[in-house]
Structure 1
Amino acid sequence: MHYLRSVVFDAAAVIWTLFLSPTLPFLRLSNASSAQVRGVSQLWANGIVFLLKYVVGLDYREQGRENIPNGPCIIACNHQSLWETVALSAIFPDASIVAKKELIDLPIVGWYLHRYPMILLDRSAGRQALRQMLDEAKRVVGEGRKVLIFPQGTRQAIGEPVLFHAAGIAALYSHLDIPVLPTAHNSGLFWGKKTLMIHSGKITLSYLPPIPAGLDRKEFQAKVERLIVEEADRLIGQHRTSVRANA
């Protein structure tokens, strides 16, 4: 059943993307603002979340919403599946996501990502890429928006060693002088890193108390990594205990 639902979801996601694709030439010809592009992108993201819920049976719950700062902040989240990229885009519609530059090569979707605007990082450019990321992040914060980053840099399956690419999140924290919202989830239990199979259930997304600006860089780096890893482990263990209890 999970396999069939996953196949139906994949087909529906493609149809939904194609359904919205005619907006691309209109937005290009009308020189649409990034806010208009974000509006269409939000419609797409919310549609995908809807399909996951009603086709696959995969929903989510949020914990700790009272910890989300009202103004600009850096949302630092663990990365286990494709789910959090889409879901967090829907939950934080004005946030700009730090993402690898290669994503803009994707047909249709890439154009929207470039105009969203996202903070696109060219990993091969070294320090120049870091400076560009900081400049774009400062612009985002100046517009009163949030910055979303996955410090692991890429998806890591549950059970794999958790590796953080600390330079990006540490540079943002040091230069932007805004709080960081550590965020964790257990999406990898339902949607694996290297599989199209999606399982039904309820992902837990947890927002921890923000880390204030002004900490020593190494102290911050150690703290944010520890908080995210410990919370993700707690959520995974909590779910597994619940499954065993109901078996």
Structure 2
Amino acid sequence: MHYLRSVAFDTLVLLWTLVLSPAIPLLWVFDASSAKVRAVSQLWSHGIVLLLKYVVGLDYREQGRDNIPIGPCIIACNHQSLWETVALCVIFPDASIVAKKELLNIPVVGWFLHRYPMILVDRSAGRQALKQMIAEARAAIGEGRKVLIFPQGTRQAVDEPMTFHAAGIAALYTNLDIPVLPTAHNSGLFWGKKTLMIHSGNISLSYMPPIPPGLDRKEFQAKLERAIADEAGRLLKAADAKVVR
């Protein structure tokens, strides 16, 4: 049953993408604003979340919404599956997302992501990449938007040790003088890193108390990593027995 639901979901995602694809050349021809590009992206993302809910039977529950700062902040979230890249776009529609620059090489999609705008980082460029990331993140918060980053750098399966690439999040924290919202979830239990099979159930998404600006860099890193790792572990243990397979 889960296999059939997953296949149906993949098929409907493709059809939904094809339905919206004519908007991309129109946005390009008329040099659409970032707000209009984000609107199309939001429509696509909402459709994916609804397909997950009604086709696969996969929904999510949020915890700790009172911890989300009003106004700009840095959202630092663990990364286990494709789910959070879509769902967090829906939950935080105006956020700028930090991602790898290689995505620009995808035909058409690269232009779309650039106009979103995402903060696309060339990880091989070292310190220059950090400077560019900070500048673009500063522009985003200047517009009153949030910045979303996955400090692990890539998806990690639930049975892998959680490792962080601290340079990016630390650079944002020390330069932007805004709070960081530690965020954790257990999406990897339902949608694995190396499989297209998706299981039904409820993903738990948890927002922890924000870390205020002004801490020493090492103190900040330790506090953030501990908060995300501990909460992600708690969510995994709480939900593991409830996953419908």
TM-score range for the pair, normalised by the shorter chain length: over 0.9
- 1:64-83 to 2 correspondences below 5 Å: 64-83=64-83
Q: Which amino acid aligns with 1:194?
A: K
Aligned to 1:179: 179
- 1:194-205 to 2 correspondences below 5 Å: 194-205=194-205
DSSP 3-state at the match of 2:212: coil
**Quick one: structure 1 residues 108 and 198, their matched pair in 2 at CA, closer, same or farther if it must change by over 3 Å?**
farther
Aligned to 2:192: 192
Q: Is the 8 A contact 1:5 1:55 kept in 2?
A: yes
Give the CA RMSD over aligned residues.
Answer: 1.4
Shift of 1:108: 3.9
Aligned to 2:46: 46
Shift of 1:38: 0.4
What's the % identity of the aligned pairs? 76
- 1:148-227 to 2 correspondences below 5 Å: 148-227=148-227
Taking the aligned partners of 1:116 and 1:123, their CA distance within structure 2 comes to: 20
Aligned to 1:3: 3
TM-score (norm 2): 0.97
Shift of 1:242: 4.8
1:145-194 CA-partner distances (Å, limit 9, x unpaired)? 00000000000001101110000000000000000000000000000000
Q: Which runs of 5+ in 1 are unaligned?
A: none
1:54-98 CA-partner distances (Å, limit 9, x unpaired)? 111110000000100110000000000000000000100000000
DSSP 3-state at the match of 1:183: strand
Q: Is the 8 A contact 2:9 2:52 kept in 1?
A: yes
Shift of 1:29: 1.4
Shift of 1:240: 2.4
DSSP 3-state at the match of 1:69: coil
Shift of 1:241: 4.8
Taking the aligned partners of 2:241 and 2:193, their CA distance within structure 1 comes to: 22
Equivalent residue pairs, number: 245
Taking the aligned partners of 2:20 and 2:108, their CA distance within structure 1 comes to: 9
Aligned to 2:240: 240
Q: Which runs of 5+ in 2 are unaligned?
A: none
Q: Is the 8 A contact 2:60 2:202 kept in 1?
A: yes
Taking the aligned partners of 1:78 and 1:163, their CA distance within structure 2 comes to: 10
Shift of 1:107: 3.9
**Quick one: structure 1 residues 236 and 101, their matched pair in 2 at CA, closer, same or farther if it must change by over 3 Å?**
same
Q: Which amino acid aligns with 1:116?
A: Y
DSSP 3-state at the match of 1:35: helix
TM-score (norm 1): 0.96
Q: Which runs of 4+ in 1 moved over 6 A?
A: none
Q: Which amino acid aligns with 1:42?
A: Q
Taking the aligned partners of 2:3 and 2:106, their CA distance within structure 1 comes to: 26
Taking the aligned partners of 1:234 and 1:73, their CA distance within structure 2 comes to: 24
